[in-house]
Structure 1
Amino acid sequence: MDFFCSKDQEVKATTVNWRIYKLVQEGIITRVSRGEFKLGFGKSYSPGLSNQQISLYRKLKTEFPFLSICIWNTSVINEFMLHQPGRFYNLVEVEKEGMESLFYFLKDKNIPVYLDPTPELIRRYVNDVKDPWIVKLLVTESPTQEINGITTVTLEKILVDIFCEAFLFDAQQGSEMDQIFKEAFEKYAISESKMLRYASRRRKKQELEIYLKEISIYRQQF
């Protein structure tokens, strides 16, 4: 604020906030704490992958080499939450044409797996299973990343999925979702344009834009 005022003593606070926001989005500066910034882009997000996930992913890619597959566990969201849920899902996301084949492959290996379960099925059955696996659709052009040969989620994808799938991410809704978004933006470099493109693929772009404004990420008071 002092820097901008030194250049223009009549500059409005809202104008300063918007300029800072644009500098953050362009990677010129990074927020390190409330009201404090540093030059350069922020820290990249990399979710943890268990040995079981890595092993299973490699088996799936061996069996289905031409399918796009993304694997992750919802426990990675705990990093951003105030209230830590004790129930997690292993998610295997795959192209539509491969969902059933992948599901039966896992089922034949006696893995507790569910194929794109409905909210009712999740409430009545999935939530009672220890360490369940869920096979779900990998939306085209989903923002994923590759870590040591394993395709997994980006933080942009996690946030949009939480926003779009309340029934699957029920523990991350309401004020907890606000906390997750704010904490994620504070700790890591996030591409909002990537989030909005993905939200558009999920037909939720307008709703996400409104939500981001409501929690003051777009024009946060610095």
Structure 2
Amino acid sequence: MYKLTQEGILYRQSRGIYSLTEKKKKTYTPEITRSLKILAGKIHNQFPYIDTCLWTTKWLNEFMLHQPGRFYTILEVERDATESVFYALNDLGKEVFLNPSRDILNKYVSHSKSPIIIIPLITEAPIHKVDKVATCSLEKMLVDIYCDPELFSTFQGAELKRIYQTAFSRYNINKAKMLRYADRRTKKAEVELLINLQRNGS
């Protein structure tokens, strides 16, 4: 029981009583806007057999003190399909960037009105469907902003710690799921340290 509670699989409710969900915390469900639904529909129509994950950095706002003025739409697709999806969206007139470097992020993406960033989808990433749109879980989002500091530069440093602290204080988060995904991204030890720091109130 001790091992399961330490891994975030079980939560202690009272003496001798455990639960699969943490008390007084909600399950995170992001808002799928009309524009995200439309984009997801267009991708599915052209590429019905590829796995995708669609989300926006705007969702991180609720966890932050300093609110960024611009947001990215993140579109993760199977690695072999990234270029095909890029050209398809580019033909539709979208502001789309494929695996942008730090230089491209600073020179072009940061000045775009509605940038869509295409990156490879990590296999076995914790994604789920909300309103029929394949999107990331909160666990995945928290791991990704740590693992890609250039892409998610706005969310680093003290802001990163605040995001983790606020997310864990408001929502049920599966630590085991986070660490499995962090391990896929070769950052398990670092992410576990971040989790333990906020759980201990540091």
Q: Name the aligned partner's letter for residue 196 of structure 1.
A: L
Q: Structure 2 unaligned segments of length 5 or more: list them.
A: none
Q: Secondary structure at the match of 1:134?
A: strand
Structure with higher Rg: it is 1
Q: Is the 8 A contact 1:29 1:40 kept in 2?
A: no
Q: Is the 8 A contact 1:126 1:132 kept in 2?
A: yes
Q: Which of 86, 94, 98 is residue 103 of structure 1 equivalent to?
A: 86
Q: Name the aligned partner's letter for residue 105 of structure 2.
A: I
Q: Which of 44, 61, 67 is residue 61 of structure 1 equivalent to?
A: 44
Task: Name the CA distance, whole Å, in 1 between partners of 2:74 and 2:159.
Answer: 21
Q: Give the equivalent residue in structure 1 for 2:152.
A: 169
Cα 1:216–1:76, aligned 2, differ >3 Å: closer, same or farther? closer
Q: Which of 20, 23, 29 is residue 13 of structure 2 equivalent to?
A: 29
Q: 5 Å matches for 1:69-218?
A: 69-213=52-196, 215-217=197-199
Identity of aligned residues (%): 38
Q: Which aligned segments of 4 or more residues in structure 1 are displaced greater than 3 angstroms?
A: 21-25, 27-30
Task: Name the CA distance, whole Å, in 1 between partners of 2:129 and 2:13.
Answer: 26
Cα 1:110–1:184, aligned 2, differ >3 Å: closer, same or farther? same
Q: Give the equivalent residue in structure 1 for 2:29.
A: 46
Q: Name the aligned partner's letter for residue 67 of structure 2.
A: Q
Per-residue deviation, 1:22: 4.2
Q: Secondary structure at the match of 1:206?
A: helix
Q: Structure 1 unaligned segments of length 5 or more: list them.
A: 1-17, 31-37
Task: Name the CA distance, whole Å, in 2 between partners of 1:116 and 1:101.
Answer: 13
Per-residue deviation, 1:216: 4.0
Q: Name the aligned partner's letter for residue 67 of structure 1.
A: I
Per-residue deviation, 1:39: 6.9
Task: Name the CA distance, whole Å, in 2 between partners of 1:116 and 1:40.
Answer: 37
Q: Name the aligned partner's letter for residue 85 of structure 1.
A: P
Task: Name the CA distance, whole Å, in 2 between partners of 1:29 and 1:46.
Answer: 23
Q: Secondary structure at the match of 1:146?
A: strand
Task: Name the CA distance, whole Å, in 2 between partners of 1:146 and 1:89.
Answer: 20
